[in-house]
Amino acid sequence: MDKQQTMVIKKKKVTARQKKDWVAGYVLIAPVTLGLLVFYIWPFIQNFWFSFNDVNKFNVTHFIGFDNYKQLMGDKEVWSTFLNTLKYVVFTVPIGLFLSICIAALLNAKIRGTSIYRTLYFLPSVTMAAAVAMVWKWVFNEKMGILNSVIAGLGGERVGWLTNPKTALFIVMLVGLWMSVGYNMIILLAGMQGIPKTYYEAASIDGAGGLAQFFKITIPLLTPSIFFVMITSIISGFQVFDVVYMMVLKSNPAYESTQTVVMLFYRQAFDYGYKGYAAAISILIFIAIMIVTIFQLIGQKKWVNY
């Protein structure tokens, strides 16, 4: 019995080759791990600590407890920016998802020049957001914009697309859609191409048409990709900043109606120097995104087919 135990112990000993493999594995994941610690985990911990402090421009902290959160709860500007952000998310996510699915389905069909169309639709996603915002800002300019020039040429009156509080946020939403649809389309197209063709062949033998195949085969088997696109779109919607920041300046009459919660965070931190209060706003954004994501993860069990 003792000999058997000693044999088992000997077998469980780690070999030199295994040790080398472990060392190689740790060395390979070290850069990513260090990057996560330096650029993600530590800044989050520091930001969380700042939210309980009064922080000056030199990052000197003075602990004030929950005062920043108490001020945040009673700040009407915070909740108005949250409302603007929520409008952006509610408008862009479902419409963007619908357009992405439609374009992906069209590009998945056997038509000429599909590679060219895929490139054209994907280009806005890889273009710098600041450059895109500046181009669209010029298009919708009230005095020199291309759109207003066409309207004036047809005998109409020029419209202040980006200066009218009723239309400015809507224009920003359109630009956000234009930038995000191409990226989401690529993900959904990859999901469609991963569906086995045998399902469609069997359905066509049973007499199912193209529309029936799309809703009975494509959409159910595409739900994992749809779920991923929905999650990422909602997160990016809550974090929208660059497009709004470049298209709507502080002197714009429509600034308050288009200001998002991330823009408020930026202004509090870098314009006013209230870094502790800005940190509390960022924690509120994080909590809101986490709550929405948790509800989505719970709800996806009922409609996502893996």
The confidence score (pLDDT) of residue 57 equals 73
In a domain, 4, yes or no: no
CATH number of the domain residue 147 falls in: 1.10.3720.10
pLDDT of residue 11: 54
Residue ranges making up the domain that contains 46? 16-51
Assess whether 216 and 97 both reside in one domain: yes
Kindly state whether residues 172 and 261 are assigned to the same domain: yes
Residue 285 contacts residue 241 (beta carbons within 8 Å): no
Q: Is residue 64 part of a domain?
A: no
Q: Looking at the structure, tell me whether residues 146 and 30 fall in a common domain.
A: no
- Whether 79 maps to a domain, the answer reads yes
pLDDT at 18: 84
Residues 92 and 166 in one domain: yes
Question: Could you give the CA distance from residue 210 to residue 187 in angstroms, rounded to a whole number?
Answer: 22
Chain segment 223-238, per-residue pLDDT in tens: 999 999 999 999 999 9
pLDDT per residue over 91-132, tens digit each? 999 999 999 999 999 888 877 777 888 888 888 888 888 888
List of residues 6+ apart from 81 with CB closer than 8 A: 259, 260, 261, 263, 264
| pLDDT above 70: residue 288 | yes
Regarding whether 161 and 22 lie in a shared domain, the answer is no
pLDDT tens, position by position, 231-266: 999 999 999 998 999 999 888 999 999 999 999 999
Q: Is 6 part of a structural domain of the chain?
A: no
Asked if 165 and 244 sit in the same domain, the reply is: yes
Say if residue 210's pLDDT is above 90: no
More confident residue, 145 or 71: 71
User: What's the pLDDT tens digit per position in 20-78?
Assistant: 888 998 999 999 999 999 999 999 999 999 999 998 777 788 999 999 999 999 999 99
What's the average model confidence in pLDDT over 216-222?
93
CB neighbour list of residue 226: distance below 8 Å, 6 or more residues apart: 97, 101, 188, 191, 219, 304
Q: Quick one: 159 and 38 in the same domain?
A: no
Per the domain annotation, does 61 fall within a domain? Answer: no
Same domain, 146 and 45: no
Q: Which two tokens stand for residue 71?
A: 């001020």
35 and 109 together in one domain: no
List beta partners, residue 123: none
Examine the domain organization and report whether 293 and 218 are in the same domain.
yes
Residue 62 lies in a domain: no
Using the predicted structure, report yes or no on whether residue 285 has a pLDDT greater than 90. yes
Give the mean model confidence (pLDDT) for residues 207-215: 89
pLDDT value at position 5? 53
Q: Are both 186 and 234 inside the same structural domain?
A: yes
Count of structural domains within the chain: 2
* Mean pLDDT computed over every residue of the chain: 89
User: Confidence band (pLDDT; 50, 70, 90) for 2?
Assistant: low
pLDDT at 3: 53
pLDDT tens string 17-26: 888 888 998 9
> What tokens does 209 get?
């048409």
* Same domain assignment for residues 204 and 80: yes
- 5 falls within a domain: no
- In a domain, residue 194? The reply is yes
pLDDT in tens, 153-179: 888 888 889 999 999 999 999 999 999
